[in-house]
Amino acid sequence: MQFDRGAGADYDAWAELGNEDWGWSDLEPYFKKSNDFDVPSRETTKEFGITYEDDAYGNGPLKVSILDYQFPDMRNIFHSWDVVDIPHPKEGFNDPVGVYWSPNSINKKTVTRSTSRSAYYDPIVSRKNLELLTNTHVDEITFEKNRAGALVATGVKYTPRQTNKQTEVFAAKEVILAAGGVFTPHLLMYSGIGPKDVLADVGIIVKKVSQGCPPDRAHADTVFRIIPQLARTSKTTLRTT
């Protein structure tokens, strides 16, 4: 599986649209914080003409690499671009325009795929304050206004498949929404945040008008932040990622 990310200009465009702290200089430290790069052997590097730059990567838990074994055809395929008048950057993560070698999400030591589970979940699975709910559907994020009138997330409503009975839990600190490019706007709209006309048409109470999450743009330009609700309650707490 190829390991990749957007170009710096992509994230700067987010910031220019009004999404403060979402530009490339803001996000770059977190990209580097997440991954750790294993370089190919000298023999493989020389044989296939592989180039890379160590400073494009970090020292995080997600292992990425350019493997020592490459299909022989890759040499001819890659170098067929040598005669084409396009950029040939040494490192695609530093200059992601043109033709370049990119790493795979493979732990070179174990020769297994490095995933969000192996990098983040498995090392902390024994924590007593962590509970992962499987076969569970998140139905709605609950909100209320604070003293300043700002809308803050207070918890979630979810339904386990086994019981088919909706349950509500309250956040002790914050609600982190990381549901992907499709389900993030979907869940926000079900929770009352979205275009007023779309929500009203299906009978959802509008809690905050936001034109940033119509379903036909979910893949392209949706960036959201849910304001944390600090030290809200001592009731049941759910903390998942």
Whether 117 and 142 share a structural domain: no
Whether 178 and 145 share a structural domain: yes
Residue where a domain stops, chosen among 93, 124, 155 = 124
Q: 166-216: per-residue pLDDT in tens? A: 999 999 999 999 888 889 999 999 999 999 999 999 999 999 998 766 555
Tell me what the pLDDT averaged over the chain comes to.
Answer: 87
Whether 46 and 100 share a structural domain: yes
Domain contains 227: no
Domain contains 94: yes
- Three-class DSSP labels, the chain: CECCCCCHHHHHHHHHCCCCCCCHHHHHHHHHHHEEEECCCHHHHHHHCCCCCHHHCCECCEEEECCCCCCCHHHHHHHHHHHCCCCCCCCCCCCCCCCCCCCECEECCCCEECCHHHHHHHHHCCCCCCCCCCCEEEEEEEEEECCCCCEEEEEEEEEECCCCCCEEEECCCCCCCCCHHHHHHHHHHHCCEECHHHHHHCCCCCCEECCCCCHHHCCCCCCCCCCCCCCCCCCCCCCCC
Domain contains 238: no
Domain contains 129: no
Domain contains 82: yes
Whether 93 and 166 share a structural domain: no
- pTM equals 0.71
Whether 99 and 152 share a structural domain: no
List the single range of 25-29, 63-67, 109-113, 223-227 with lowest mean pLDDT: 223-227
pLDDT over 70, % of the chain = 88
With a cut of 80, say whether residue 224 has pLDDT above it.
no
Whether 203 and 107 share a structural domain: no
Domain around 148: 136-217
How many domains does the structure of the chain reveal?
A: 2
With a cut of 60, say whether residue 81 has pLDDT above it.
yes
Instruction: Report the CATH number at residue 194.
Output: 3.50.50.60
Whether 93 and 144 share a structural domain: no
Whether 38 and 115 share a structural domain: yes
Whether 101 and 146 share a structural domain: no
**pLDDT score of 210:** 85
Domain contains 176: yes
**pLDDT score of 214:** 53
Q: 115-153: per-residue pLDDT in tens? A: 999 999 999 999 998 999 999 999 999 999 999 989 999
Domain contains 74: yes
Whether 19 and 115 share a structural domain: yes
Q: 2-19: per-residue pLDDT in tens? A: 898 888 999 999 999 999
